[in-house]
């Protein structure tokens, strides 16, 4: 199991935690892995660490080295104060982990403000909105006087609003795959170059959107 985890996640990688406080109230936190062994995952303490009491159950997920998301249930097993305070979490059996391959990501509806700048191609920068997004790309609306063509590479700045209320910003290089004309001109773009920290933000954003959509479907 240790060897398998070593191939999926490394010290310093991001891990996400979700606690259900009842009445469908969920709190999500982000931390980093500091170490792990056969039975325990050690993560950095978080500013809200006081809510992570010993024995508290929660869900966790991380982006694996194989580009898949791994979901599992865990519990706080202790806290240690050294040079940097850490929280110990129970490590699940591999059979109890849920693996979501990247191709399983659905494109989620998301109306984001997007700033579009030239990258290796000269055109006038503009701002617009997206209509949907996935872990691998997004679709944006184009102005009538746009100068883009298929194959262009662009630089995108995206604000991602999360359920906890915080907003994170991503800088992504993308390629224009195609431009469709209808009542609204739209461009489909594929992400080409993205920093690991920004990719983590996008994965988390899409995951939260998917969870919200599933909860909404169940309510009906």
CATH of the domain at 128: 2.40.10.220
Q: What is the mean pLDDT of the chain?
A: 83
* Prediction pTM value: 0.59
Shared domain check, 183 and 117? yes
- As a whole number, mean pLDDT of residues 80-108 equals 77
Q: How far apart, in Å, are the Cα atoms of 44 and each of 34, 38, 87?
A: 6, 18, 6
Report which of residues 177 and 104 the model is more confident about.
177
Is residue 6 over pLDDT 70? no
> Nearest CA to 154 among 185, 128, 193?
193
Shared domain check, 124 and 52? no
pLDDT digits (tens, 9 = 90+) for 109-130: 889 999 999 998 889 999 999 9
> What is the C-alpha to C-alpha distance for residues 91 and 187, in angstroms, rounded to an integer?
43
Report whether 128 contacts 154 (CB < 8 A).
no
Domain of 50: which CATH number? 2.30.110.10
> Nearest CA to 33 among 10, 55, 8, 50?
10
pLDDT band at 21 (very low <50, low <70, confident <90, very high): low
pLDDT score of 1: 38
Q: Give 30's strand partners.
A: 16
Report whether 183 contacts 201 (CB < 8 A).
no
pLDDT digits (tens, 9 = 90+) for 143-177: 999 999 999 999 999 999 887 778 999 999 999 99
- The last residue of one of the domains, among 100, 126, 154, is 100
How many domains is the chain partitioned into structurally? Answer: 2
Range of the domain at 94: 5-100
């Amino acid at each position: 199991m240790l060897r398998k985890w070593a191939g999926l996640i490394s010290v310093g990688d991001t891990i996400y935690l979700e606690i259900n406080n009842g009445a469908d109230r969920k709190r999500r936190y982000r931390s980093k892995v500091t170490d792990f062994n056969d039975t325990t995952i050690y993560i950095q303490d978080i500013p809200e660490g006081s809510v992570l009491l010993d024995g508290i159950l929660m869900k966790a997920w991380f982006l694996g080295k194989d580009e898949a998301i791994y979901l599992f249930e865990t519990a706080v097993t202790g806290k240690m104060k050294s040079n940097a305070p850490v929280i110990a979490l129970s490590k699940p059996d591999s059979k109890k982990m849920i693996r979501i391959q990247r191709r399983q990501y659905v494109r989620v509806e998301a109306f984001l403000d997007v700033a579009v700048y030239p990258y290796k191609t000269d055109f006038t920068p503009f701002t617009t909105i997206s209509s949907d997004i996935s872990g691998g790309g997004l679709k944006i609306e184009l102005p009538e006087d746009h100068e883009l063509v298929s194959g262009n590479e662009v630089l995108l700045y995206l604000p991602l609003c999360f359920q906890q209320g915080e907003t994170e910003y991503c800088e992504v290089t993308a390629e224009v795959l195609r431009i469709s004309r209808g009542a609204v001109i739209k461009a489909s773009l594929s992400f080409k170059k993205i920093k690991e920290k920004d990719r983590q933000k996008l994965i988390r954003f899409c995951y939260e959107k998917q969870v919200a959509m599933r909860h909404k479907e169940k309510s009906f």
